[in-house]
Amino acid sequence: MKEIKKELLIRVYIVAIVMVGIAFLLAYKAVRISVIEGEQWRSLGDSLYLKYIPVVADRGDILASDGSLMTTSLPFFDLHVDFKANGLREDIFKANVDSLAYYLSTYVNRSVSKTQMRDWLIQKRRNGDRYALLAKDVSIRELEQIKTFPIFRLGKNTGGLIVDRQHVRVKPYKLLASRTLGLERENAQTIGLERTFDDYLKGEEGQRLVQRVTGGAWIPVSNLDDLEGHRGADIHTTIDPEIQDIAEYALLEGLEKSQAKKGTAVVMDVATGAILAIANLGNPNGSGYSEDYNYAVGFSAEPGSTFKLASVIALLEDHGADLNTVVDLGGGTGHFFDRTMKDSKQHGIYESTLTEAFEISSNVGIARLVQEYYGRDGRAGKYVDRIHKMHLQEKTGIELDGEGAPMIKDPANKEDRWSGTTLPWMSTGYECRLTPLQILRLYNAVANNGKMMKPYLVSKITSEGKVVKRFYPETVSDHIASDLTIQKVQGLLKGVVERGTAKNAKPDYYMFSGKTGTARTDYYDPTSQRKQYTASFAGYFPSDKPKYSCIVMVYDPIEGGYYGSTSALPIFRKIADRCMGIHRGLLASSTMPDTLSYDDKRLAGWSQKDELYDLMDDLDLDSEVDGQGEWARLANGKNLRLEVQDISSENRIPELYGMGIRDAIYLLENKGMHVRYDGVGRVKGQSVKSGQPIEKGKTIHLTLG
């Protein structure tokens, strides 16, 4: 019996010891979890119900050279309702649900009635929905109005209104320079300046504390005012909206007329290299032209005859030929080894000079001069060296991704497959590849007296009104050739317009210089059923004191001829005319006739008097003033006479001949008339004769030329 009692006591002691040990272990675990590891476990618990999510900051703007917005972000809002908000008591809800339903059905969702909206609100309240969608894509103005509605005006904690901010990228100028400005979209590649300067534009993200609620939704804890990140910086471009508009409309008109597949036009400031306009239009599906690709920057191709400028510079620099060097044009046909080269037409000219060969764009003439000098004694490499000194083998470095790489063959590189016919064909713009912008950089350098500038699109980056980074004009080369050579080729480019392939587009009251180009693009394809060409014109204006350089490329024109002179040149002329029209000071710096004829197309026509006085001051000319009024024109005579009248005071149609279209529209619309016009330039015809009584609301048609 004693032994049994002893055994039971031992067992009790063992159980007690185990229980005490377990108690101590549980106490230790509790202390460790609550004290030693408490913060870790609490944060883990919070993470199941609370977390921070990134909030995208307002993206910076992209601005034109005059400060106007070209790309900006507009805020839009998605609205939800927390029907279990802490302060939303049942008495508050019942007292205001009818009026809230009225306002929502009247101003937010007009597709539902007040009764339907009331039933929806009550049902969501009954279900305890904490993140019910109320509206999407609400504007800031609409949001401010909704915040004044019953219940919502009580604030987030009581009213339950949850505001989720979104950003929508918009372009006030619509498609103007759209491909250059670029796109910034979700689930799509960012392009253009939006991509290049994304680090500046996107700013710094904010953070938003959200909590998990029933149903798995996450709703914000903090107020909207606490969510802002740091707004992105603004990008200031060199694009001139007016010149960009001119370039795009001129290009569109030209492409529609020629029914070309695509085209590009670029306008650059000669002195600085600043890109003032860059237009790109394509019609890949035959459904209309749009900015589908940046051809000016990304599309490299054989340039054709615009490359002859580089060949002539090389010849003049190396003394391989001079302007009066005699060359046989072969009537328009030449033979180089086993291949035949032809000019654009069989012109029947044989003995000629380098000057004439360039002005009429003779492939045979330029190729023979280059072949005769560089095609012997191992001089082909010397020709390529000259091309390199013009930096044609280099990208421009424009601030856009995807610039097409130039291709200039080198006889020292076996991979380039240099042959006996490479030199003559390359001299005329074949067997090499360049982008339009790379070609324009060369022409801009000639206009800039041999100084080559780097093309650029961005002038500065600012944040909150302060300059973060400034971009200055960069010189690529102070002299791509000697001063004498530059003077000679400037004369050649001017001769192209005065006597050569561009003579039919010669302006009346200023002068531009340049070179036509025509390149066949499918010559390597024997199965091609229709010959395809690229038409181009590269040049600058005004010739004497160049302000702008410009290139126009038209790819595969069908109607009206495929030559540079018929497809690209008219577009260039329109751009030049309109740029000269909006900057009348350029007209003053251009060469003018010694006398002005009243019956000829007058220099200025009727213009506002103050503007014409400014022009006369720029010319440093004295003139007699005849008459009084607010409008003036230059009249005939060896001595300049300024004829002044108040042509807007009478209730009659004024004489509009020679007037700029902007002045004509201003004058007529102020009289209550509607204006329609065709053409470019100044008024040369009007459907209602001068002196006729004004009929308000009547349309007058003006012909420009």
Cα gap 551→644, rounded to integer Å: 39
Averaged over 540-558, what is the pLDDT? 95
DSSP H or E run through 96: helix 90-103
Averaged over 330-346, what is the pLDDT? 93
CB 452 within 8 A of CB 475: yes
| Fold agreement (53-236, 594-704) | no
- pLDDT score for 623: 59
- The dihedral region occupied by 335, where left means phi > 0, alpha psi between -120 and 50, and beta the remainder, is beta
Is the pLDDT reported for residue 595 higher than 50?
A: no
Averaged over 588-616, what is the pLDDT? 50
- pLDDT score for 260: 94
Is the pLDDT reported for residue 644 higher than 60?
A: no
pLDDT band of 607, cuts 50, 70, 90: low
Is the pLDDT reported for residue 216 higher than 90?
A: no
- pLDDT score for 503: 94
Assigned token pair, 472:
């200055």
Cα gap 74→203, rounded to integer Å: 15
- Of 313, 306, 304, 238, the C-alpha closest to 477 is 313
Cβ neighbours, 10 Å, residue 601: 15
- Of 159, 169, 168, 194, the C-alpha closest to 180 is 194
Cα gap 177→169, rounded to integer Å: 15
Assigned token pair, 664:
């004509």
Give the residue extent of every domain in the chain.
2-48, 53-236, 244-584, 594-704
- pLDDT score for 365: 97
Task: Name the burial class of residue 93, with classes exposed (0-12), middle (13-18) and buried (19+) by CB atoms within 10 angstroms of its CB.
Answer: middle
Averaged over 442-446, what is the pLDDT? 98
Assigned token pair, 505:
């587009």
- pLDDT score for 315: 97
Task: Identify which of 193-197, 480-484, 632-636 has the greatest average pLDDT.
Answer: 480-484
pLDDT band of 602, cuts 50, 70, 90: very low
Give Cα 263 distance to the centre of its chain.
14
Task: Identify which of 44-48, 123-127, 151-155, 555-559 has the greatest average pLDDT.
Answer: 555-559
Is the pLDDT reported for residue 256 higher than 70?
A: yes
Is the pLDDT reported for residue 274 higher than 90?
A: yes
Considering only 168-172, 183-187, 278-282, 648-652, which range has the smallest mean pLDDT? 183-187
Q: What does the pLDDT look like over 469-526, one tens digit per residue?
A: 999 999 999 999 999 999 999 999 999 999 999 999 998 888 999 999 999 887 665 5
Assigned token pair, 37:
């590891």
- pLDDT score for 422: 95
Is the pLDDT reported for residue 638 higher than 60?
A: no
Is the pLDDT reported for residue 220 higher than 80?
A: no
User: Which amino acid belongs to residue 114?
Assistant: K
Question: Is residue 639 helix, strand or coil?
Answer: coil
- pLDDT score for 508: 81
Going by their DSSP bridges, the two strands 513-520 and 548-555 should be labelled as unpaired
pLDDT band of 618, cuts 50, 70, 90: low
Assigned token pair, 539:
């040049």
- Provide the Cα torsion 641, 645, 647, 650; round to 10°: -150
Considering only 24-38, 331-345, 368-382, which range has the smallest mean pLDDT? 24-38
Is the pLDDT reported for residue 225 higher than 60?
A: no
Considering only 87-91, 201-205, 266-270, 645-649, which range has the smallest mean pLDDT? 645-649
User: In this prediction, what percent of the chain has a pLDDT beyond 90?
Assistant: 45
Q: What does the pLDDT look like over 73-129, one tens digit per residue?
A: 877 888 888 888 878 888 888 889 899 889 999 998 888 899 999 999 999 888 888
Is the pLDDT reported for residue 637 higher than 50?
A: no
Assigned token pair, 395:
């990208």
- pLDDT score for 435: 97
- Of 399, 438, 190, the C-alpha closest to 295 is 438
| Torsions phi, psi for 552 (to 5 deg) | -125, 130
- The pLDDT mean for the chain works out to 83
pLDDT band of 598, cuts 50, 70, 90: very low
The larger pLDDT score, comparing residue 348 to residue 701, is at 348
- pLDDT score for 593: 41
Going by their DSSP bridges, the two strands 132-139 and 69-81 should be labelled as antiparallel
Is the pLDDT reported for residue 222 higher than 60?
A: no
Residues 6+ apart with CB under 8 A from 37: none
Is the pLDDT reported for residue 43 higher than 60?
A: no
The larger pLDDT score, comparing residue 691 to residue 546, is at 546
DSSP 48: T
- pLDDT score for 516: 97
Q: Where are the beta strands (DSSP E) in 82-145?
A: 132-139
Considering only 86-90, 219-223, 253-257, 673-677, which range has the smallest mean pLDDT? 219-223
pLDDT band of 627, cuts 50, 70, 90: low
Residues 6+ apart with CB under 8 A from 633: 602, 604, 605, 606, 607, 612, 642, 643, 658
- pLDDT score for 52: 66
- pLDDT score for 512: 97
Beta bridge partners of 674: 699
Cα gap 449→546, rounded to integer Å: 10
Q: Where are the beta strands (DSSP E) in 146-298?
A: 161-170, 206-212, 218-220, 234-237, 262-269, 275-282
Cβ neighbours, 10 Å, residue 379: 17
Cα gap 573→634, rounded to integer Å: 25
Superfamily of domain 53-236: Penicillin-binding protein 2a (Domain 2) (3.90.1310.10)
CATH class of 594-704: alpha beta
Superfamily of domain 244-584: DD-peptidase/beta-lactamase superfamily (3.40.710.10)
- Of 568, 443, 565, the C-alpha closest to 500 is 565
Is the pLDDT reported for residue 601 higher than 50?
A: no
pLDDT band of 634, cuts 50, 70, 90: low
- pLDDT score for 620: 54
- pLDDT score for 208: 65
Torsion sign across C-alpha atoms 548, 549, 553, 557: positive
